[in-house]
Chain A
């Protein structure tokens, strides 16, 4: 018998036919799927499974001058809520613990949990089911992890990234803030937004039926580029000194406004800038608009006697006078350009002709006007402009006023007698500050700088800002002479209260009457003190301006009363903090002052 194996003709044909039919069916289906129905199914899949995840970039930090103190940073916070429909009775025992963790009274939490629907007027009586009721929108990550461990079904959170300001109100007007919509508003946050904001990343992938990402189907991925860190010139310690002093001014004199600026005269970098009133950056929503105003850059004041550095520097620089040149400062009128001009009278008439040094130290309005008249209106105008009055300082944070300083053609007949005393012009505190800084910097006017460098997220410096010179205003010799004259203000002039033994302090007091209802008020004044030290090698320029300060004694808010003491206290602290050496031989420590040797306790 011939073996036919297991494959009879009948079976072979049957199996082969079945196989080919199956394969043919598969081939047909594949052909249909890949050629004819492809677009339809691909679209279906893409609709159902395609997903794009945006990876938010972390906004860069704002750092103080030492590069470590964080003035602004980004962190995630959880907006915690509850779906009352999902709550289980067995979780009720955990409610008190949740209330404690949220700092919320238990009855309030219970009320939220047990309110299952809200009535909608349009629907008549029918209530709409509540699927989300907010519990808190500032839950920290660690607290959220603890809350999740309670295992209360229906309580969950959504993560949001928010800006945090660890130092609260410190340097509020410099730092600025990012609002609830994520838009920077004012300060460095707005100015340096280009560096800070970074670039969001994104990722294409697919999701499963539970909307979870199927990581194996990731196709394109662009990582987020975090924002750069911005290092300011603001020193948090000096800034704190300034803000403590502003708080003291507010307590003692109850002013309408006040501002203090500290800068490095050689570079123009601002070391501290504070305003009163101020606000907490973490509570910007509840801060009044007036408190958010950067007074130092935006508000205009008549500089008063602090402006006298301009006519004095002008007359010295032009060689019209020497510090010893004397003027009769008791004149009521003076002939100028063929017309008789009425001079401002000084508070304390001089018994003898005053030297230029005395005009500055005693702050003679009469003498300052005569110095300006020696040079003429045009020169006074040009020098004042050169000192930066009437033009923006270039303060990088914006909202800066350019002041009010008319061209000579618009001057009235009395302006040549009023402007040298700091009246009929208006300047921002920054303009006044940088005019004085010009004297401290050998006659060179600098641009205010606030950012020292920009760093990437590894700490590498990306860009470094250097000093920026605006112009040379007076010669170095004139500037040094002016510094000596301003030292006289402190040693035996109107600013004696700022004297610090063994340190050469130079400065100028200023007291300007405010215009109330169109007239100069005898009760409302802007008191100021602008100065620098040590006079021979200046390390810091300090400006203190107090608007409508009222001494407790009931007197006038003179600059020497409301502003100069603050200058001195800040300067004394800066001496230690910046290690500024005394000019003369070091004094022996006096009895009763050896706090350090007493272990710092008292």
Chain B
């Protein structure tokens, strides 16, 4: 049975209000959910930032300690402790090669292609006591 005009209007109004409330409520809940998600994401980001900062602090500590261990004083101390006996080389211990080793090796290799005999004289140097050694 068809309701009267006044009741129909009231019913419609009531339905519209309910729908309106539902929509508004949904929008409100959606907003709350969205803000909650923003909050979760922001706090997650903040935690990541804190972890990153902590990692950077740890890295700085490690870098500082490594630098301290690489200082000449520390290396010399290790040299003594580990009895490595490492010292700076001295000039008399150095054998200087006047010629270009690249050219000599290239010439030697090229010469070997064409003949069995080495075309370049082998390098000789005196080790000790004047005895000649061949390399």
Contact = CB atoms under 8 A, between A and B. Distances in A.
A353 interface: no
B10 interface: yes
Given A5-B3, A576-B89, A600-B85, A216 B43 contact: yes
Interface residues of A, number: 57
Given A166-B71, A170-B72, A602-B85, A595 B60 contact: no
Contact of B129 (A74, A240, A573, A591): A591
A601 B128 CA distance: 18
Given A218-B42, A594-B93, A595-B93, A167 B7 contact: no
B109 interface: no
Contacts of A7: 7, 10-11, 14
A576 B90 contact: yes
Contacts of B95: 586, 589
A504 B10 CA distance: 114
Contacts of A582: 91, 96
B58 A141 contact: yes
B64 A2 contact: no
Contacts of B87: 595, 600, 602
Nearest to A74: B60
A589 B126 contact: yes
A573 B11 contact: no
Given A166-B71, A216-B43, A76 B60 contact: yes
Contacts of B89: 576, 595-596
Looking at B4, B57, B129, which has the most chain A CB atoms within 10 Å of its CB?
A: B57
30 contacts: A2-B4, A5-B3, A7-B11, A7-B14, A12-B10, A12-B14, A69-B70, A69-B71, A70-B67, A73-B64, A75-B60, A141-B58, A164-B64, A167-B72, A168-B73, A236-B71, A501-B91, A572-B90, A582-B96, A588-B125, A588-B126, A589-B94, A593-B90, A593-B92, A594-B93, A595-B89, A597-B93, A597-B127, A600-B85, A601-B85
Given A7-B14, A73-B63, A73-B67, 13 more contacts: A3-B3, A75-B64, A166-B64, A166-B68, A168-B71, A236-B71, A240-B72, A572-B91, A576-B94, A585-B98, A594-B127, A595-B87, A600-B86
Interface of B: 1, 3-4, 7, 10-11, 14, 17, 35, 38-39, 41-43, 45-46, 54, 57-58, 60-61, 63-65, 67-68, 70-73, 84-96, 98, 125-129
